[in-house]
Structure 1
């Protein structure tokens, strides 16, 4: 059985509902969707999915514990809740245990924009499939200052195989017990120093895929230039037609609201008139099942840049290393 996976807790409830609605519209209401619990705060999600028979929460506690222990051994500093907001993001690795033979993982802050058949089809030939352009910026995956980096991976691989962990497809069982233990041995022998220190599970997943030499494919690298599309809200040129985005005439596969913080989404859904990229599209999918609850904005529009930019006082305090 094939299916869709995501990772969530009640903090990203609004994003999750938008994602589930986009899956229902684009992929249908029968495709199974598995939610991996970011943490124990999932009461809103549990109540919501009662009305979504194709959606379920992953409850294999042994699998969750196994990957918690793997993360603690591989990169214990990333489980520091005070330092890393994404401390639980590694639980998406449970998808490699199940329940789907082939799966596509999407972050909760994404919207499906197109059929994913082509992605599933690539898994007939490849073990790992992505569609993004993270390979253009290795600094958010690896510590490029580490002299060990080029001892572990050749430059041509760093230039072409790096990916964003917000969207990928793979198969059940590709990281079995022996493979996990081998990877941990390599990391603990000193290779952990090549991982970028500032981002949850993404550096580790890149390392796992690249170190094992997994047969991988990136649509962003392989499609002809006149067919490939972007995927991030940081791209301002996408065109909207019938609540679907297009990039120079080509329909997007998915849209990732990367950088738009959960707190801002909550404020907008509560009625605060804050601008963020492709906001109307997000609100369309978020309130698709309950349009009467869509917020009506009565205050002047606030710029996302103004809201997200630190104040002068905050910048001064940061320079003084004072935590607010």
Structure 2
């Protein structure tokens, strides 16, 4: 059975993609990786990632365009801040029987594809503590008051930057029907922090995939993964989470601008310039905060990763 990793990127996030791919290939030189173009400006990064890491471009570009058109027809052009994030949903219809999707603002610290072994018992995987922050940035209270989901359902909320499943678990009609359902009920969702795909895809998975597993619930617990978490410490150049005394599986700069002075900057730069001479950086005197910064700060005491 074929296994692989999907990423989305364009030329603008070349440095992020290099850091991610350097980290993946540090532990895994063989797993195939496919690039889903974020937009039409991807040819330079595609050539670079192919040359250095063997990454190939998603073959069925017409399918990606079709999904994008359907999204626009269903919701209109102004509903989402970043509608191109939905292109990652092409994962369901690509070449891999089992797949892992990873955002480019991530670096990994293990052979990350081995987490697909959990698909022996489940149909969908995530690996984060998003649920500990409550339903903000995903749903509104309407999903509870109107009985759309139970409190137990909402314990399976996940971050859209790392997830895994199998080809065929979601069909194209499932995706399109989800678009239609969600477009009829915008009151179910919290887009206040300008998220795009995460609320809709959480809705789809909670509604349509019963056999879900969050890897942080594995026996013995699991470390956090969010770069906004202050507790991680380095041990022999690998970050550990002292709350569970385990090494991190990956680190995700979700909602954080990756630049000198940001959390765990040295760790990210190490992976970006692995095998290269490290440039000299100056820390900005007044770093520009992302739109999510204030919201993420409120979560830091509630969410480990």
* TM-score, L = length of structure 2: 0.85
Task: Note closer, same or farther for the CA distance 1:75–1:204 as it changes in structure 2 (3 Å cut).
Answer: farther
In the alignment, what sits opposite 1:284? 270
- Rg comparison, structure with higher value: 1
Kindly indicate whether the alpha-carbon contact (under 8 Å) linking 1:22 and 1:113 is maintained by their aligned counterparts in 2.
yes
Distance 1:25 1:53, change over 3 A: closer
Q: Say if 1:73 and 1:184, in contact at 8 Å, map to a contact too.
A: no
Q: CA RMSD for the aligned pairs?
A: 2.3
The alignment status of 1:201 with 2:179, answered yes or no, reads no
What is the 5 A alignment of 1:123-162?
123-136=119-132, 137-144=134-141, 146=142, 150-158=146-154, 160-162=155-157
**Structure 1 position 296 matched with structure 2 position 290:** no
Q: Distance in 1 between matches of 2:271 and 2:143?
A: 46
Query: Residue 271 of structure 1 corresponds to which residue in structure 2?
Result: none
Instruction: After TM superposition, give the deviation of residue 133 of structure 1 in Å.
Output: 1.0
The answer to whether the 8 Å contact 1:234/1:277 transfers is yes
Question: How far apart, in 2, do the equivalents of 1:242 and 1:35 lie?
Answer: 32
Alpha-carbon distance between aligned partners in 2 of 1:259 and 1:6, rounded to the nearest angstrom: 18
1:115: how far off? 2.5
- 1:85-105 Cα distance to aligned partner (Å, 9 max, x none): x33111000000012111111
TM-score (norm 1): 0.80
Q: For residues 309 and 120 of structure 1, do their structure 2 counterparts lie closer, same or farther at Cα, with a shift above 3 Å needed?
A: closer
Over 3 Å counting, the alpha-carbon distance change for 1:207 and 1:34 in structure 2 is same
Q: Structure 2, unaligned stretches of length 5 or more?
A: 291-305
Deviation per residue, 1:182-218 (Å, 9 max, x gap): 4344334x33431222311000110110111431101
C-alpha distance in 2, partners of 1:204/1:258? 18
> Shift of the alpha carbon at 1:73?
4.3
Where does the alignment leave 5 or more consecutive residues of structure 1 unmatched?
266-273, 311-324
1:16 CA drift (Å)? 0.4
Distance 1:53 1:14, change over 3 A: closer
Partner Cα distance (2:8, 2:189) in 1: 22
Task: Show CA shifts across 1:269-312 (max 9, x none).
Answer: xxxxx3111111111110113x22x2123x5x435xx31259xx
Tell me the SS of whatever aligns to 1:135: helix
**Counterpart of 2:17?**
16
Does 2:250 correspond to 1:254?
A: yes
Q: How many residues align?
A: 284
Equivalent residue runs for 1:258-273 within 5 Å: 258-261=254-257, 265=259
